[in-house]
Amino acid sequence: MRRRTLYRNGHVYVPTRGFPTAMLVDDTRVLWVGGEADADGQVDEAHRVVDLHGCLVTTPFVDPIHFVAESAEWRSLTQLTGARSLTEALDRLAAAARTSQGPVTGFGYDEGRWPEQRPPTPEELARAVEGRPAVILRADKGACVCSPAFTAGAAQVGVDTRSLADMTRRPGLGALLTGVVAQRTPAQQQAILDGALSAAAAHGIGCLHDHISSPRLLDGFTTTRPQLPGPIVQRYLRHVCRPDEDPAVLLREHDLHGFMLQVDGPVNSHQAALHETYIDLPGQVGPDPMPAETIAEHLVAASLAGIRTSLVAMGDRAADAMIDGMRTAVRTVGLDRFRSLRHRTMTLALADPRVLGTLIDLGVVVVRVPQVDSRWGGPEGDFTRALGTVRAREMMRFGSLGVDGLLTALASTSPWLDLDPWQTLRSARWHRFEEERVSVGEAFRAHTVGGWHASGHDTRGYLGVGLPADFVVWEVPPGELGEGPHSQLETPGLPRLRPEAPTPRALLTVVGGRTIHESEGALP
């Protein structure tokens, strides 16, 4: 028999139903939503009644671009930021080695702030961790130090260790991650991944799309474990399909949902493919993007097999290659089939009418990352230093590009930006340029309904009778729940997300009637 729970005396966010205060659910679906006056009539239907004490109830968030392995590593790093000397940094690493298993990893050292004016040597690092494999990454990610044991282990799995030892070259983060993962046991790595998924659930994320940078990160562990409570995980592997392979076989072998194409790289590391030179690197326009012919070839193979692709094309030259590849692929695949697959892209070239129009025509979901503006925008930000004021502002456009027909979802790109979905919404609400701001409600819809649409689910992202029991109970800071429009960008029933206020805290996250996160003692 399915158990029924009545949640009452709260604020249930259902935009089409006014301001409900109560909700009845069973183990799979929402059974009733209504006001407090009618909640008494549902008590006899419930096995359990939960007093929400004014908490907010919403549908869960979806994070359509998330790097689970990298997020897991970030959570497990020994933080060296703020270490006042080489000795203090080594002491922190030694303490981490005494309380952990597997490789010791650290981030954030800055030898320029230390009296020694140098990083540790590989031998000093090895002594601090008693011979364990260890690697530490400088705060600007421009250099690393590896212990001899780590270097030897990384070399055994094909990592180019010369690049890791050369302090004048930026280390490849993918190579570092491969080296770290290869030197853990499957159980150690699985525990770290499970911790990252638990963190997502604790932020009210009910579904995430794990973007996997290397097939090596698939060995021996998984982010889809139905026997454990956690978000729904759709896995996208970085892979280019060729005409002579069957992409469906690869999906079945690795429990994948789709593929990722990295057309170019980030702007702030000068890896985005641009038409005009970087301001801070005169004459440099970034590496060449993936050719349009390769993109088209992949999209034809994947689309004919019914498989979705997530494309990352940050620079304008990369975006041109991407849309040329898409249009070429559509001539073979057919427009209806192409649109039905809900391919998606993350690009910063939406101000180009040709790019924007093509994405709308082809039904491509555009994944936006509002925290790019709050983290790297502005006069002193990385984008302005790299591109100049005018081009940086064009790449940061947000609200002014919300045109009819554009399918939009919001993402964190964790760990590169904050995992907290409310922080993503706040960045959209308080964009540094007023004309680019969007309402909390509009951003919320993109981060929930838009994300579920990108996931292939059209009946999720809402709280309604007969729909899946997907919901989050939030503790909202006092005075933050919008009960009336203080401004046109606030949405009644949702948090105001003022810059100085803490973001809401998830007390309970439920997906399909299954509890995936619960703060101990928060709800009786």
Mean pLDDT of 419-445: 96
Which position has the higher pLDDT, 367 or 139? Answer: 367
Domains and CATH numbers, the chain: 4-54+463-518 (2.30.40.10), 70-182 (3.10.310), 239-455 (3.20.20.140)
**Residue whose pair of structure tokens reads 């401004």 in the numeric block:** 487
| Model pLDDT for residues 467-521, shown as the tens digit of each residue | 999 999 999 999 999 776 567 889 999 999 999 999 999 999 999 999 999 998 8
pLDDT above 90 for 363: yes
Q: Is 251 helix (H, G, I), strand (E, B) or coil?
A: helix
How high is the pLDDT of residue 168?
61
Out of 172-176, 184-188, 255-259, 451-455, pick the least confident: 172-176
Burial environment of residue 380 by CB neighbours within 10 A (0 to 12, 13 to 18, 19 or more)? exposed
Mean pLDDT of 148-165: 86
Q: Is 2 helix (H, G, I), strand (E, B) or coil?
A: coil
Which position has the higher pLDDT, 56 or 186? Answer: 56
How high is the pLDDT of residue 43?
94
Confidence category of residue 18, pLDDT binned at 50, 70, 90:
confident
| Average pLDDT score, the chain | 92
Distance of CA 161 to the CA centre of its chain: 29
Per the rule left: phi > 0, alpha: psi between -120 and 50, beta: everything else, 405 is: left
| Model pLDDT for residues 179-236, shown as the tens digit of each residue | 898 898 888 888 888 899 999 999 999 999 999 987 777 665 555 555 567 899 999 9
Confidence category of residue 178, pLDDT binned at 50, 70, 90:
confident
| Model pLDDT for residues 66-92, shown as the tens digit of each residue | 999 889 888 889 999 889 999 999 999
How high is the pLDDT of residue 142?
76
Quick check: 122 and 135 in contact, CB under 8 A?
no
Q: Which residues contact 224 (CB under 8 A, 6 or more apart)?
A: 233, 235, 255
- Pairwise CA distance, residues 121 & 112, whole Å: 15
